[in-house]
Amino acid sequence: MKKHDVIIACDFPDAQQTLDFLRQFQQEKPFVKIGMELFYGEGPDIVRQIKSMGHDVFLDLKLHDIPNTVNKAMRNLARLGVNMTNVHAAGTADMMRAAKEGLAEGAAGEVPLLIAVTQLTSTTEERMHKELLIEASIEDTVRHYAKNACDSGLDGVVCSPLEAGIVKEACGTAFLTVTPGIRYADGNVNDQARITTPQKAREIGTDYIVVGRPITKAQDPVEAYRRVLRDFLGE
């Protein structure tokens, strides 16, 4: 795995559409994210298929349950050979530590990276206050959740690119930031609330950006991927 990369969110409803999309990439083997829709529809075999094609996989299931359940689930996810997976930081330190232990117990080789979701990029501060009854600012909440994840031995967090700098300040530069909510100024923001461009994400210092519709819905997905890659890596 590269230290900095673009992860394509393969948010397709089935294996056929996913594999047809990935077969367009003849020269590159992009890092891909498999989310709930695809994993729940196709099961673990979709991970094995994509891994067999030479892609690194971020399995984005956002586990959030009691520590024992998450520990056992992570053992099974590690056996799939995923490169990265995640939990909700709101599950508390005990759950995050149990998740990390489960990955180590289930991995046949290198242990997958484990990151925690701080606040979803669709969440606004107003919704956080009114619906979740979290009185702190979104920046303070993300900082606190990230620090808990770091202290629990996790490798990084999922956060908005707008909060990546805050996380690095609180947890150090080696602590990974994985940021969705990447859009271009000429693109549709869709259901994202806290967004930025690939170039700005690079300047902020994020490690991985997750990009879905700007690539998967593009007329030429391969060229769209290359554009994002150039802009994010500065090459």
Maximal C-alpha separation, the chain: 49
For residue 9, give the H/E element and its range.
strand 5-9
DSSP letters spanning 16-84: HHHHHHHTT-SS---EEEE-HHHHHHH-THHHHHHHHTT--EEEEEEE-S-HHHHHHHHHHHHHTT-SE
Q: Report yes or no: 231 and 197 within 8 Å, Cβ to Cβ.
A: yes
Residue 83, burial from CB neighbour count under 10 angstroms (0-12, 13-18, 19+): middle
Catalytic residue among 2, 33, 51, 62: 62
- Whether 100 is catalytic: no
Angle subtended at Cα 50 by Cα 48 and Cα 55, rounded to the nearest 5 degrees: 120
What Rg do the C-alpha atoms of the chain give, in angstroms? 17
Instruction: Name the residues annotated as catalytic.
Output: 62
